[in-house]
Amino acid sequence: MTIHCLIVTARSEREPRAASLLTDAHALGLTRVRGLTVSDLYFIDGDLSGDDRARLASELLSDPVTQNAEWRTPGAVRPAVGGHVIEVALRPGVTDPVAEQIMRCALMIGVQSVRHASTGIRFVVFGDLSNGDLRALARRLLANEVIQRHALGEIEPIFPQEATASGHVETIALRELDDGELAELSRQRRAALNLAEMQAMQAYYRAEGRDPSDVEFETIAQTWSEHCVHKTFKAQIRYGDRDVDGILRTYIRAATEQIAAPWVRSAFVDNAGSIDFDDEYEVSFKVETHNHPSAIEPFGGANTGVGGVIRDVLGVSAKPIAATDVLCFGPQDVAPDSLPEGVLHPRRIRSGVVAGVQDYGNKIGIPTVSGAIVYDPGYTANPLVFCGCVGLAPKGAHVREPRTGDRIIVLGGRTGRDGLRGATFSSMTMDAQTGEVAGASVQIGDPIVEKGLIEVITRARDARLYDAITDCGAGGFSSAVGEMASQSGAQVELERAPLKYPGLAPWEIWLSEAQERMVLAVPPANVPALQTLCDTFDIELTDIGAFDASGHLVVRHDGRAVLDLDNSFLHDGLPRRSLVASAPQPAALAAPADGDATARLLRILGDPNTASKADVIRRYDHEVQGGTVIKPLAGAACDGPSDGVVLKPIGTRGTRGIVLACGINPAYGAVDPYRMAVSVVDEAIRNAVAAGADPSRIALLDNFCWGDPNRPETLGALVEAARGCHDAALHYGAPFISGKDSLNNEYLGADGLRHAIPPTLLISAIGLIEDVQHAVSMDAKEAGNILYRLGAAADNAAVPGLPAHAPAMYATVHRAMQAGLIRACHDLSEGGLAVAAAEMAIAGRLGMRFTSAPGDLFAETNGALLVEVRTADAAAFESHFDSALARRIGVVTSSVRFVVEGPGTPLIDAAVDNLVAAWTHDGQVN
């Protein structure tokens, strides 16, 4: 082995990573760090000539214009003058996608002698620091010990080795265990199964006259996990004096079935929901959560959350055309010493999650267009990462039924140990040991491979090369092949699966959630054509078996059966849970501070939950593919917060477009979960309507993130929120087409107490706009235009309820937009009228003068919008509305002052520049 190391450093002293890390180091209490530099390390194993090294450095691994590249001899690292060296690299077995691309691209530029590659990072830290300080800096900020190792000085590179499996299969003595031993077995193997479920497994194997293999045990645990089968949402629940026959059936699906919208093509039966777009195409939408993985490895958790939801859309044979992200973090200024053991600082979680979303979306070439960021102390140890994807497919192109004799074809990434027990891990409460124990549950994504998968699958779809397809997500082959074969059967030859590195046991190969993999059912005659497509886009194809009609899932390794399960038991043998719920005890919202209204407005604008998110949004490419009409940032300086985004899918006919929006308000969740649900449904629909969506063609997705549903009060809050979803969906005629629940979002702290997140419901809305040229943005447009407040007066309740007037009013707003009568539209939500108007003024860099009663100025209410109308259009606009719901309140001005008149004296008088400064924190992280 001949190892070469290239160090690549930016020529500019203003390296963005270094500046951000220095800020974070000081925020984490490491104030003696005076400065640092960041360099990339590339380790190459190969017999490289001088010309090979030069070509790798200048053509592949560095930019000669902006970077310096220097080859160093291992063991001869030069000390940094006045600084301390810390080097970081991945642990053995962790996926290194950059290294994989180095291997591929080296061949493309004609360098044939690269045998292996790996990567790392070199930090030079300046300051009066001891070795203990440096190790603390590495652990807290520079390296994540779940997936990385670090060294003070030079780090030793580790390369992957030839990949063969261990072949070891363990038999788990299950049949003779008593109840206590069954519960302990579930705990030890992190199966997340309760006693009744363990007893059902035991009864099956007693009837079979044998004990399970570890492959079978892990397969059952995955298939029966909360993450995969949604046991709580399907449970029989006793709630007070009534029975709820499953939350999903009673509330969410019931609303969709009652609405019976003819334009819904698929709801709750596939990887993503879908609706009609036009006569040729359908649109699919899915939003997933990746919370637990993002808590222990923020970059990888968010990165693979994006990759996973893109796979969901590929799993319904659609081409991904847009991504969404909603992120929930703890306060960014929390004292480091106050954090529970094993918890990353919220600043570090935020920076890693944002970087993970940016990395995947930007590299794969899918615009990240819609989202939100929420801060709350309840998310300190348990962040929430919602990742969504929209796809477009020809109508009728998606096929779902594998046929007897179809080959089981795996496309994409190789199998590694990353992602083990991801489904059960995501179904459990985290604790101080979670990062250490569950490190293998986190994966590292490779968007370049997934980009190739998109190209292969869309072409294979159009050529009708497969009979069924699904993504290889939580549970890996176990989930993908198991679900596809659930109505038939399958025979799998596990040793055929290509591996990343040696030593994997059969259960690890079968269960690994390693990324960028899809499973297809392909007629044997079509395999050569699919192979040709894969060769074109450099995607690995592997045939691991065949579907049959046996009713059994059988997996062999080197000719020996390591799994043989009856499908009726695997998919229908899970005991239905019976749970007890009690009415949630309402909490009180913090009373707003009294005092000067101008100061209050500036304070709200500067609050992290209201302030500008442009520093994050601008890291995402939201215009790639060229279809973004209304962008996430609007206005004169492209920094105003759009209510929704509008897309014109490239390749579709006419001017019809898609509108995306969302609603989330966890502050309401602890106060009144029913009203919280109706509020966020209204917010999502209101945001979509504000951008131009037709309110009669809006579909919804629900994502519930909750604590432990085994606590009656927690479960009661979940039931109430689901009931709110049902009532609001019927009220607006907006069906649910997909959803996801993520429960047990709690952290067991060093104090021995469970700390739960706020009850959090994300509602995502997808709608249609007939003509994208009638889309409306939120920024104030022109001095002299009239401002109208639409909607009923605020009820000043702690949590606003379902507005009776809203469906008809939203339809009227849409007609006015179609007639070209509305120049700008913005919803009233957090902060009420004052904040909505201020955001319009900020975005347009124009002044405003309007009147308001003091009690209405900051009141939050549902079903309310603020619109701007030309003076010449005022009469026509007013003719559309009942005067009680459309009140003329003021005008846009050129004075660049924001003035709110009250009874006899101005309530607010501020320069728009001061609003901008408060809202942007003068460029500081909010």
Residues known to be catalytic: 227, 290
Question: Do 625 and 289 form a contact (C-beta atoms < 8 A)?
Answer: no
Give 699's contacts (C-beta < 8 A, 6+ positions apart).
261, 264, 273, 275, 285, 734, 735, 736, 737, 765, 766, 767
Length of the chain (residues): 926
Look at residue 251 and give its three-state secondary structure: helix
Helices and strands per DSSP (H, E), number in the chain? 30, 40
Closest CA to 515 of 578, 451, 429, 600: 451
Beta strand pairing status for 746-748 and 430-431?
parallel
Residues in contact with 594: Cβ distance below 8 Å, sequence separation at least 6, in sequence order: none
Residue with tokens 């105003």: 640
> Which residues, in sequence order, are CB contacts of 707 under 8 Å at separation 6+?
714, 743, 744, 745, 746, 754, 756, 757, 759
Q: Is 170 helix (H, G, I), strand (E, B) or coil?
A: coil
- Measured CA to CA, the distance from residue 925 to residue 921 in angstroms comes to 7
Q: Is 100 left (phi over 0), alpha (psi -120 to 50) or beta?
A: alpha
Residue with the two structure tokens 């293998």? 440
> What distance in Å separates the CA atoms of residue 445 and residue 363, rounded to the nearest whole number?
11
Nearest to 420 by CA among 315, 515, 349, 299: 515
Distances (CA, A) of 147 to 88, 142, 301, 382, 569: 10, 12, 11, 19, 36
Give the sign of the dihedral formed by CA 851, CA 852, CA 857, CA 862.
negative
The torsion angles phi and psi of 912, rounded to 5 degrees, stand at -60, -35
Tokens of 227: 């993450």
Q: Are 150 and 86 in contact (CB under 8 A)?
A: yes
Of residues 253, 237, 17, 31, the one with CA closest to residue 738: 253
Question: How does strand 384-394 pair with strand 281-289?
Answer: antiparallel
Q: How far is CA 850 from each of CA 426, 796, 841, 866, 886, rounded to the nearest angstrom?
A: 50, 20, 12, 12, 14
Residue among 832, 322, 429 nearest 601 (CA) = 832
| CA–CA separation, 197 and 215 (whole Å) | 17
H helix or E strand, kind and range, residue 478: helix 476-484
Residue 29: what are its φ and ψ, rounded to 5°?
90, 5
CA–CA distance, 635 with 842 (Å, rounded to integer):
8
